[in-house]
Structure 1
């Protein structure tokens, strides 16, 4: 009889354990594939002449769509007293080929662990910076236009081209509609506390029909710390920001690829939105500065010095025509100052989109982006149009179109 009571007591205690330490792990993901078309894309460079042609392709959304394909694990364990241990491991992949995205990182989208409480959350690992957390939602690309709707070559990173490694972030709980966050990424260089360091902060407010936010990011030696933070990127001796192309390869990121020698990257952004019935009107503005060009942080074949400063304005509207159908339109303007007396550059872009929900988890969408470039770009050439995710144009104009399907699980 005594053994029976002991056995019953042991079973009761075992069953009671989850009550005191509840935990959960969720598997989630997105697959987003689409057919893309561009009227002109570079295929090679012979001497100073750019060679190009129109292109049809089947691509993952990492390149041009709404949501890059991914799968992830999200977990939480109740520690008691309103505290939880949390983690996220999120892998990005190319659904059209099965290859890893984010430069080949196994969990290139996010990988962090932390603790949350009623006051806020502390996380450490590879994660998004506060500028993304607070300001991205007001841009066309961050709300309905996808990666191809980013500002030229995603120069201000509002569409998550780069994440932050080796970082610690604190995000407050919401108080009266307000929340804030701060992040610091350790450079990890012996004898130099500031080399390769990244820090940022953000603040946001949501109340009724209005929402607004601001954010800041500062990256020292950005060619290495910010752009070179994925497995297949090089060291400071290589240009991790972009490429001038070759006889067999197109250019990449011509809008700002020439500024790899910047000592500091600074991005300041702000945004606001107003909801009126079925329509949401949004405005986003950023200032992106490549400071102290000519430093040892990266190559400088064109001999740049001083600062390159981009200012981008993005006004967009999305309208819920029916419960299943959303339409979007936006226009953005980007201007860069004169560097080495090149008279600067300007980029005008029009974004159009339609998204139809077939079910709660599956939607079909159509995106179109038109861009025009004026002036001279960072590669010292007559500025070419360069829609984010597409190979740059050979001329000052480019059109990109995507018909996609997205499924969430």
Structure 2
């Protein structure tokens, strides 16, 4: 069906569409393809449409001379043209006259189009009125017929209504009973949850945080300077941990500050050959970016415990934060022995379980998903470390 009239008519319509979409080359390509066909058929209406589009192309590309020549070559005046095409020609001529500064002529064409549209609206209004009257007459006859049928079925309808009412009352009663049962059940579950939370609070409060801080402060007072510094760092770490653990998400600045405190406490167990780096790109706003609470600390703890602790030689921990397409990318790398991805034991650790479960729950309520991955760092096929990467899109809602 590539060489029939309907297809060529479709293509000339596409030329008009692409012209209005500012795809000038595409519009010209379609015109070059269809015009020989319409010339061969001597289809003056289609050729008038093609010339109209040519005028529009010349006007839009600023080729005033070509547009003027096409307008002057008005060889189709002796053939009748549908007024819709005249209206379309007037629209492109209006743009031409506006461009050349002949605003009076552009205004006259605009008035002509308004008059045409008003005429169309008037004709449509008359047609709608006639259609409404015809429907009214038809509906009147149908109404008489329906009234006769309804009169005969009145008794049956009354019986059905009574039966429906009885069934509805029964369903409402059943629904009330179900809702009452659900309310009682929910109340029981809430009571059970309150009991469980109370028990958890009792377990948590068996050792008061204030008691722990008092013991540490007393130990700090009676310790040497180096040991007192370590205990002070530990005290600050515990206080910060208590504050952050109550929140589902914190700012990146808070998380990095907590991680740095944690590393300072852990660095003594790793020896003097341990170094760490925290690199934050300049375009990262630490106060505006939010991350899941304790995630970075868990990744850092895993890198120290499973990667660097007990590792002979130089130990290095690196935390990098940068931006990628409305996403904050956080990676924790170490130069340890890496991990064995085949047995899957690494993923079963408590910290990693918390991360995976938290991400799964958070992603259920967000269109943009948090991504997390762990890979070994290799150099010429030799494992020389491990890298954990967390990608947090902007606008993530944390529960």
Q: Which has the larger radius of gyration?
A: 2
Q: Greater relative contact order: 1 or 2 (C-alpha under 8 angstroms, separation 6 or more)?
A: 1
TM-score tier by shorter-chain length is under 0.3
More strand as a share of residues = 1
How high is the TM-score relative to the length of structure 2?
Answer: 0.19
How high is the TM-score relative to the length of structure 1?
Answer: 0.19
